[in-house]
């Protein structure tokens, strides 16, 4: 559907990986669609009501988001370089 709509896609991020939903489907989809796999974000017990965002209170969550953000940043830089 995305290809039919001609929507640009930077890559695939797999959300809520882990015991409940499994993992690996994002990487499989990225391979199937010939797109970069940007990373995965786990469904963790750290996500609960606290006084601050989990990304600030959990080093593991921070690392997951940072890895995805770095890949997105690199993808955007490559896209900008291609258009320059």
Q: What is the pLDDT of residues 14-25, one digit of tens each?
A: 988 888 888 899
* Helix, strand counts (H, E) of the chain: 4, 2
Q: What percent of the chain has pLDDT over 90?
A: 48
The answer to whether residues 49 and 56 touch, using CB atoms and an 8 Å cutoff, is no
Distance CA 39, CA 61 (A): 12
Provide the pLDDT confidence category of residue 71 given band limits of 50, 70 and 90.
Answer: very high
pLDDT one-digit tens code per residue, 40-65: 988 877 776 677 787 787 888 899 99
What is the pLDDT averaged over residues 55-80? 92
Question: Could you state, in order of their start, the residue ranges of all structural domains in the chain?
Answer: 2-83
What pLDDT sits at residue 49?
67
């Amino acid at each position: 559907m995305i290809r039919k709509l001609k929507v640009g896609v930077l890559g695939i991020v797999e959300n809520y990986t882990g015991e409940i939903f499994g993992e690996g489907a994002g990487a499989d989809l990225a391979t199937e669609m010939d797109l970069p796999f940007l990373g995965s974000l786990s469904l963790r017990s750290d996500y609960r009501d606290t006084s601050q965002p989990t990304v600030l209170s959990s080093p593991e969550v921070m690392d997951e988001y940072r890895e995805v953000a770095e890949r997105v940043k690199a993808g955007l830089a490559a896209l900008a370089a291609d258009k320059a």
